[in-house]
Amino acid sequence: MDNNSGNPAKLNTVGIRLNACGKTFPDGTRALEPVQLEINPGETVVLLGPSGCGKTTMLRIIAGLEQPDAGGQVFFGEQDVTPLPIEQRHVGMVFQSYALFPNMSVAENIAYGLKVRGMAEVEKKQRVVEMLSMMHLESFAERRIDQLSGGQRQRVALARALAVRPRVLLLDEPLTALDAKLRESLRAEIDRLLRSLKITAVYVTHDQSEAMALGDRIAVMEKGRIAQIGSPREIYYRPATRFVADFIGSMNRVQGMVDGESLQLPSGLLRVGPRVSNEVLFRPEDVRIVSNGEAQLQAKIVSAFFLGDHTRLILDVGNEQTITAETVDRREFKPGDIVPIAVDSEAILFLE
């Protein structure tokens, strides 16, 4: 056990390596194709994808709650933990449903991992106090679980998971059960924790904004496979597949006739640069409303939604193709108007 000093920030955190970890359930469904994944010590990797993409299965294999199919291996640092059950892997885990023990108080919940490890009473008390203050829960120590709000419960769950100073922290959709406002503030709190503790963390979510905010790297998953793994910027600006492009943010897709370095559309010529294809993709925020001189396309407004901080326009670019554009322009846009638009060629993507 790592009883080093009284500083909660000192953790013996390790990297995680998955080697050909697949998962086939007894009924024959393939939840996870054999997957390769390397997570560096101290790094936060977010597993992002729609439900049923295998992200939770991967987390449970890392945790030791599921065994990978034969041949799969899980390493914590240099140690092969594949044969170890979860209780011997020394992980911290946070669940969507909090999973706090209703028969114990807040303090008892936090102390539970220390109790089963047989930690001395004095040290245990001290550690609980430490965790309570780290999560701003001092005044709740003696409360029962059913006297806490959802946000407080998840903070207790985090404190409980971190109290044992785990080697890695695993979070399974920890914010999904909370309402939007609380989600944001707890997200900031989790971010602060992960940065200050420098603990290796795997975070499962289906919410892209959570993934972008928390992940050092994001692994976008689709049908049991990792479709792409990379920093939030890489994932957003250079999506590797159409699935990734569509899942993260929104994406416009335009088809036309190739004309030199441009794409010919009934509304004008879209400059796409030396590499051309008859289909290009670009983000709504990369559509600029310009002066007539700079215009590449003359698009007709189909509908306009004023959303306060920006206006979302649905534009007709001809051939029954519509695109979405987002602008901070304060003008009042009316359906039927023609707006001159341009898209920078650096913002244009080509995907098969």
Among 25, 50, 80, 101, binds other proteins (CB under 8 A): 101
Q: Which stretch binds other proteins (CB under 8 A): 83-91, 148-156, 255-263, 305-313?
A: 83-91
- C-alpha–C-alpha distance, residues 199 and 10, integer Å: 9
Q: What residue spans of 64-179 are helical by DSSP H?
A: 106-116, 121-134, 150-163
Among 68, 72, 113, 340, binds other proteins (CB under 8 A): 113
Asked if 138 interacts with other proteins (CB under 8 A), we say no
- Nearer Cβ to other proteins (98/333): 98
Asked if 146 interacts with other proteins (CB under 8 A), we say yes
- C-alpha–C-alpha distance, residues 103 and 121, integer Å: 20
Asked if 102 interacts with other proteins (CB under 8 A), we say yes
Asked if 22 interacts with other proteins (CB under 8 A), we say no
How many chain residues touch other proteins (CB under 8 A)?
Answer: 32
In the stretch 41-80, what mask flags binding to other proteins with x, by CB under 8 A?
----------------------x-x---------------
Written in H, E and C, the secondary structure of 248-309 is CCCCEEEECEEECCEEEECCEEEECCCCCCCEEEECHHHEEECCCCCCCEEEEEEEEEECCC
Asked if 237 interacts with other proteins (CB under 8 A), we say no
Asked if 179 interacts with other proteins (CB under 8 A), we say no
- Nearer Cβ to other proteins (112/236): 112
58, containing H or E segment: helix 55-63
Asked if 148 interacts with other proteins (CB under 8 A), we say no
- C-alpha–C-alpha distance, residues 149 and 53, integer Å: 30
- C-alpha–C-alpha distance, residues 177 and 151, integer Å: 9
Asked if 29 interacts with other proteins (CB under 8 A), we say no
- C-alpha–C-alpha distance, residues 34 and 30, integer Å: 10
Q: Which stretch binds other proteins (CB under 8 A): 72-80, 157-165, 214-222, 303-311?
A: 157-165
Of 49, 15, 47, which Cα lies nearest the Cα of 202? 47
Cα–Cα distances (Å) from 191 to 3, 35, 163, 195, in that order, read 25, 27, 18, 6
Of 269, 275, 268, 262, which Cα lies nearest the Cα of 351? 275
Q: Which stretch binds other proteins (CB under 8 A): 14-22, 142-150, 179-187, 246-254?
A: 142-150
Q: Which stretch binds other proteins (CB under 8 A): 39-47, 100-108, 299-307, 332-340?
A: 100-108
Q: How far is the CB of 225 from other proteins (least distance, A)?
A: 25
Query: Two tokens at 221?
Result: 């998953």
Asked if 36 interacts with other proteins (CB under 8 A), we say no
User: Facing residues of 4 across strands?
Assistant: none
Q: How far is the CB of 207 from other proteins (least distance, A)?
A: 20
Asked if 144 interacts with other proteins (CB under 8 A), we say yes
Q: How far is the CB of 157 from other proteins (least distance, A)?
A: 8
Asked if 86 interacts with other proteins (CB under 8 A), we say yes
- C-alpha–C-alpha distance, residues 347 and 198, integer Å: 34
- C-alpha–C-alpha distance, residues 337 and 300, integer Å: 6
Asked if 297 interacts with other proteins (CB under 8 A), we say no
Asked if 91 interacts with other proteins (CB under 8 A), we say yes
Of 224, 136, 149, 206, which Cα lies nearest the Cα of 179? 149
Among 161, 171, 202, 218, binds other proteins (CB under 8 A): 161
Among 22, 49, 72, 92, binds other proteins (CB under 8 A): 92
What length does the chain have? 352
List contacts with other proteins (CB under 8 A).
63, 65, 85-88, 90-93, 95, 97, 99-103, 112-113, 116-117, 139, 142-144, 146-147, 157, 160-161, 164, 170
